[in-house]
Amino acid sequence: MLKPENFYISFCAYAVNFMNVRVHHPVEALRMLGANVAVHQKEIGFPPDAPENAVRIMVLQRAFLSKDAWPALVKKAIQQNWLLVVEYDDYPENPFNAAKRANSLDWERFRMCHGVQTSTSDLQSVFSDYNEYVGLFENQLFRMPPPINRGDKAVRVFFGALNRKDAWKPLVGSFNRVLKAHPNLQPVVLHDKEFFDALESDRKVFQPSCPYEKYLQLLHSCDISLQPLNDSVFNRYKSDIKFVEAAAGGLAVLASPTVYGKTIQHGETGLIADQPRAWEEAFSRLASDSALRKQLGANAKEYVMRERLLIDHIRDRLVWYGQLWDKREQINQRLQETYPELAG
């Protein structure tokens, strides 16, 4: 394997909401290994100081360039001896970015590049239909949080997600019945004001959108995390990062089988519920059984420390980048044969 200091990596990040887990934390970890990494927010950057013998990787995160700009960028990368890697960690047919997709190459982006990196095995399978070189780098935790000691006796219940109304709306009646039966519960809601308003509790707390570190502090001040996720094509390709973040703080997680059923061991590292009645029963168990909460949280935290810390996986990226670099001539040939406009 090439030494980390031989790698020059340019991260071009476009999706601000995902920059910590998919950009900033991997960048920090790569720098800790000794790699040369630059970050460009919402712009393209070819660092001019990369030596001729360096491994040159440009990672383009969630970019929607125009149909003319994308081929021009790929051609420039080939001419300047850089590899263009597309970083994408969601199913591309996102209902919230239809306009951007219409003005871009959409799915063709994943073919017109040197490689694709993503966060789940399901996405890896999807992108493999377009590109032979797809690197799988699951979302990991950058560091374990410090313990938080609270003096109050409330059992704090965290909910923090965007665009989950389809998931929580059928369950809000169940949630309210549990809140009524267990007045020691204190709901803590991040982002979703509509969900907050639907909860029937005089102890509930609302936090608007906030920086990532503050989100983690708020999350880790709680005892239970509710993670409902509706079963849809788009949602099935999401990662389990919300479970990992909650588990790192020792929270007892109650989640939907979509996505989380692949990671959570029901009854060991969390609870899985599919129907409203199952959600109500499981939530009620967590509310009344402190020993169960603590055991699930401890088991989940041990899982994260054992398997989901970024520092234990970051070298895999350099290995994959190095393998991609060794194949750059044949990849360039494939690109130029498939897209003649990239030649010359």
Per-residue pLDDT at 103: 80
Highest mean pLDDT among 11-25, 145-159, 303-317: 303-317
Q: Estimate to the nearest angstrom the gap between the alpha carbon of 87 and the chain centroid.
A: 11
Q: What are the tens digits of pLDDT across the range 78-89?
A: 999 999 999 999
Write down the number of H helices and E strands in the chain.
15, 12
Per-residue pLDDT at 148: 81
Asked if the model's pLDDT at residue 61 lies above 70, the reply is yes
Closest CA to 224 of 133, 326, 329, 297: 297
User: How far, in Å, CA of 269 to CA of 280, rounded?
Assistant: 19
Task: Tell which wins on pLDDT, 44 or 301.
Answer: 301
Asked if the model's pLDDT at residue 337 lies above 90, the reply is yes
Q: What are the tens digits of pLDDT across the range 115-154?
A: 999 999 999 999 999 999 999 999 999 999 998 876 678 9
Q: Please state the pTM of the whole predicted model.
A: 0.94
Q: Does residue 226 contact residue 217 with C-beta atoms inside 8 Å?
A: no
Mean pLDDT estimate for the chain? 94
Closest CA to 289 of 89, 155, 147: 155
Per-residue pLDDT at 104: 86
Asked if the model's pLDDT at residue 2 lies above 90, the reply is no
Closest CA to 209 of 157, 161, 139, 148: 161
Asked if the model's pLDDT at residue 305 lies above 90, the reply is yes
User: How far, in Å, CA of 100 to CA of 92, rounded?
Assistant: 11
* Alpha helices for 209-327 (secondary structure H): 212-220, 233-236, 241-248, 276-288, 290-307, 315-326
Residue range 210-229: average pLDDT? 96
Per-residue pLDDT at 161: 84
Per-residue pLDDT at 16: 66
Cβ neighbours of residue 260 under 8 Å, at least 6 residues apart? 227, 229, 240, 243, 253, 270, 272
**Dihedral angle sign, alpha carbons of residues 39, 109, 239, 322:** negative
Q: Which residues pair with 59 in a beta bridge?
A: 11, 85
Residue range 271-280: average pLDDT? 97
